[in-house]
Amino acid sequence: MPRHKTDTVTASQPRRSGAVESRRSLISILRAYIHNHRKNAAESFHRLVGEPLQSVMTMLVVAIALALPAMLYVGVSSLQQLSGSWDSSAQMTLFLKKGAKDKAIKSLIKQLESNDELAEIHYISPSQALDALQDSAGFGEALTLLDENPLPPVLLVVPIATIEADVPRVEQLVKTLAKQPLVDEVQLDMKWLQRMQQILDIGRQITVLLGGALSLGVLLVVGNTIRLAIENRREEILVVKLVGGTNGFVRRPFLYTGLWYGVFGGVLAWLGVVIAQFWLGTTVTRLAALYQSDFALQGIGLDGMLVLIALGGALGLVGAALAVGRHIAQLEP
């Protein structure tokens, strides 16, 4: 049968193996190990490309599961930033008695200016407030129907104390200011911010909860996909084990497959968030403009992209590891 000259292997090779094995240095073993990893990574990738529909569907599931909490996170952080810009101030609005005389107001301002507890005082007269209201919010036409200006004179004051640092001091100040005869009502703007803060906390908790639940979903989806892949390559696994492949060797390509699902799912999730931002962004900015705010959705940024990819990769790897750990040990020739 051997049509070629045949004696090249037979005579020399079998006896040499023992010596060759023991002479291998640590570096050459390491190099072979790294080579094997690179080969596995590339082969797993090519397998995914070879089954584009199946791969893209799995990646999309991963992407959606990652994108939802990511979008919620971006929304919450954007609102957080909005409230953060007022964080430290405990600005108060003093609504003065309607029809208060200019002179009385002036003397009140003078009195407040001498108060050491206050850092800033702004006076907004009823007519200024009306002008501002007419310019904004589309109330213009409705306001022309009014016979007289319904707005009270207002003082915006900023205390030295911050609300986080010194709640009793700020509250004491509110009480003192409320006792002024000219003052109708004192409203602490911070109260609203605190409420918003609480709402944001709930939003953050929902993000964590949703993120946790969907991460579990990713683990299961990737795990199941890998389980099917193992079933499909059953014969190959058995042969590899028969020629001396360790469980680790058999596991490796599947772990890389899981990793790729996760990483590309992360990339798609990032793309999804970016597209959603562009789409929602203009609407949000227009809406915010109506309220005199320059609020804009915060971008997910490079950090966000890296986090999504890392998270996706980790989830894919863990999902694959769970499936592989259960199914490959069971497959014995």
Match 């409420």 to its residue by tokens: 195
With beta carbons less than 8 A apart as the criterion, state whether 304 and 266 touch. Answer: no
Number of residues near another protein (by CB under 8 A): 37
Neighbours of 323 (CB within 10 A): 24
For the bound state, the minimum distance from the C-beta of residue 246 to another protein, rounded and expressed in Å, comes to: 4
Please give the Cα distance from 43 to 97 (Å, whole number). Answer: 79
Choose between 143 and 240: whose C-beta lies nearer to another protein. Answer: 240
Among 57, 242, 289, 290, the residue binding another protein under the rule CB under 8 A is 242
Binding letters toward another protein, positions 177-216, x by CB under 8 A:
----------------------------------------
Q: Given the rule CB under 8 A, which of 55-63, 101-109, 243-251, 298-306 is the region that contacts another protein?
A: 243-251
Choose between 2 and 52: whose C-beta lies nearer to another protein. Answer: 2
Choose between 4 and 286: whose C-beta lies nearer to another protein. Answer: 4
Tell me if 106 contacts another protein by CB under 8 A. Answer: no
Among 52, 168, 244, 302, the residue binding another protein under the rule CB under 8 A is 244
Tell me if 331 contacts another protein by CB under 8 A. Answer: no
Contacts of 173 (CB under 8 A, 6+ apart): 92, 117, 118, 159, 161
Choose between 97 and 241: whose C-beta lies nearer to another protein. Answer: 241
What are the beta bridge partners of residue 158?
A: 120
Among 1, 26, 53, 145, the residue binding another protein under the rule CB under 8 A is 1
Among 54, 107, 176, 246, the residue binding another protein under the rule CB under 8 A is 246
Choose between 17 and 144: whose C-beta lies nearer to another protein. Answer: 17
Tell me if 332 contacts another protein by CB under 8 A. Answer: yes
Structure tokens at 61: 């599931």
Binding letters toward another protein, positions 10-49, x by CB under 8 A:
xx-xxxxx--x-------xx-xxx-xx-------------
Choose between 214 and 255: whose C-beta lies nearer to another protein. Answer: 255
Among 116, 141, 148, 235, the residue binding another protein under the rule CB under 8 A is 235
Choose between 39 and 175: whose C-beta lies nearer to another protein. Answer: 39
Give the residue from 328, 299, 317 showing the smallest Cα distance to 78. 299
Q: Given the rule CB under 8 A, which of 117-125, 236-244, 291-299, 318-326 is the region that contacts another protein?
A: 236-244
For the bound state, the minimum distance from the C-beta of residue 262 to another protein, rounded and expressed in Å, comes to: 24
Please give the Cα distance from 323 to 320 (Å, whole number). Answer: 5
Please give the Cα distance from 118 to 137 (Å, whole number). Answer: 31
Match 């944001």 to its residue by tokens: 200
For the bound state, the minimum distance from the C-beta of residue 283 to another protein, rounded and expressed in Å, comes to: 50
Tell me if 99 contacts another protein by CB under 8 A. Answer: no
Among 42, 239, 275, 290, the residue binding another protein under the rule CB under 8 A is 239
Tell me if 169 contacts another protein by CB under 8 A. Answer: no
Please give the Cα distance from 317 to 278 (Å, whole number). Answer: 31
**Which residues make up the interface to another protein (CB under 8 A)?**
1-4, 6, 8-11, 13-17, 20, 28-29, 31-33, 35-36, 235-236, 238-247, 249, 332-333
